[in-house]
Amino acid sequence: MARRKKIYEGKAKILYEGPEPGTLVQYFKDDATAFNAEKHDVIDGKGVLNNRLSEFFMTGLNNIGVPTHFIRRLNMREQLVRACEIIPLEVVVRNFAAGSMSRRLGIDEGTPLPRPIVEYYFKDDKLGDPLVTEEHIAAFGWASQQDLDDMVSLALRVNDFLSGVMMAVGIRLVDFKIEIGRVYDGDFQRLIVADEISPDSCRLWDLQTGQRLDKDVFRRDLGDLSDAYTEVARRLGVMPKNAATATKPHLIN
Site residues (vs ligand UDP, CB under 6 A): 90, 92, 98-101, 129, 175-177, 201-203, 215
What Å distances lie between residue 30 and 37, 195, 234, 250, CA to CA?
14, 16, 19, 15
Is the distance from CB of 86 to CB of 97 less than 8 angstroms? no
Q: Quick one: 201 or 226, whose CB is closer to ligand UDP? A: 201
Helix axes 145-167, 46-63, angle to 10 degrees: 110
The candidate with the shortest Cα–Cα distance to 146, out of 134, 158, 130, 161, is 134
Sequence letter at residue 116: P
- Looking at the DSSP bridge assignments, the partners of residue 175 are 94, 203
- Encode burial over 199-227: b for 16+ CB neighbours within 10 A, e otherwise: bbbbbbbbeeeeebbbbbbbbeeeeebbe
Cβ distance to ligand UDP smaller for residue 30 or 90: 90
Q: How far is the CB of 243 from ligand UDP (least distance, A)?
A: 21
18 vs 92, beta carbon nearer ligand UDP: 92
Which residue of this chain has its Cβ atom nearest to ligand UDP in the complex?
99
- Provide the minimum distance between the beta carbon of 96 and ligand UDP in the complex, in angstroms, as a whole number: 11
For residue 44, the minimal CB distance to ligand UDP (Å) is 21
Question: Rounded to the nearest whole angstrom, what is the least distance from the CB of residue 109 to ligand UDP in the complex?
Answer: 9
Residue 112 CB, shortest distance to ligand UDP, in Å, is: 16
| 8 A C-beta contact, residue 18 and residue 84 | no
Q: Please tell me whether residue 200 adopts helix, strand or coil conformation.
A: coil
Considering the complex, state which of residue 5 and residue 220 has its C-beta at the smaller distance from ligand UDP.
220
C-beta closer to ligand UDP: residue 52 or 177: 177
